[in-house]
Amino acid sequence: MAGNSKLIGARDFSNENEIPLDEIGYGTHTPSIVAGNFVLGANLFGNAKGTAVGIASLAHLAMYKIKTSTYSEFDTRREMNVLGAIGAAVDDGVDVISLSVGSLTTDSFIDSIAIGAFQAIEKGIFVCVAAGNDGTDLCTVQNTAMWILTVGASTIDRKSRATVVLGNNSTLDGESAFQPMDFTPMQLSLVYLESTASNQFFILASLANINVRGKIALCETGSIERIETGQAIRNAGCVAVIFMNKELEGYNINLNAHCYPAVCISYADGLKVTAYINSTATPRASMSFEGTIIRDDQASSVAYFSGRVQIR
Instruction: Residue 164: name the closest of 52, 24, 288 by CA.
Output: 288
Instruction: Label residue 279 by pLDDT band (50, 70, 90).
Output: very high
Note the pLDDT of residue 223. 47
Residue-wise burial string across 17-56, b where 16 or more C-beta atoms lie within 10 A, e elsewhere:
eeebeeeeeebeeebeebbbeeeeeeeeeebbeeebbbee
The pLDDT > 90 percentage for the chain reads 48
More confident residue, 29 or 102: 29
Instruction: Label residue 117 by pLDDT band (50, 70, 90).
Output: very high
CA–CA separation, 202 vs 242, rounded Å?
16
The answer to whether 297 touches 145, Cβ cutoff 8 Å, is: no
CA–CA separation, 57 vs 49, rounded Å?
19
Note the pLDDT of residue 197. 45
Dihedral sign computed on CA atoms, order 102, 108, 109, 114: positive
Strand partners for 216: 190, 240
- For 227-242, the pLDDT digits (tens) are 777 778 888 889 999 9
Domains, the chain, ordered by start: 7-151 (3.40.50.200), 158-294 (3.50.30.30)
Distance between alpha carbon 158 and the CA centroid of its chain, in Å? 15
Other C-beta atoms closer than 10 Å to the C-beta of 8 total 13
- For 16-61, the pLDDT digits (tens) are 667 888 888 888 889 999 999 999 999 888 888 899 999 999 999 9
Q: What is the mean pLDDT of the chain?
A: 86
pTM of the model: 0.80
The answer to whether 89 touches 11, Cβ cutoff 8 Å, is: no
- For 129-157, the pLDDT digits (tens) are 999 888 777 788 889 899 999 999 888 88
Instruction: Label residue 123 by pLDDT band (50, 70, 90).
Output: very high
Across residues 103-131, what is the average pLDDT?
Answer: 90
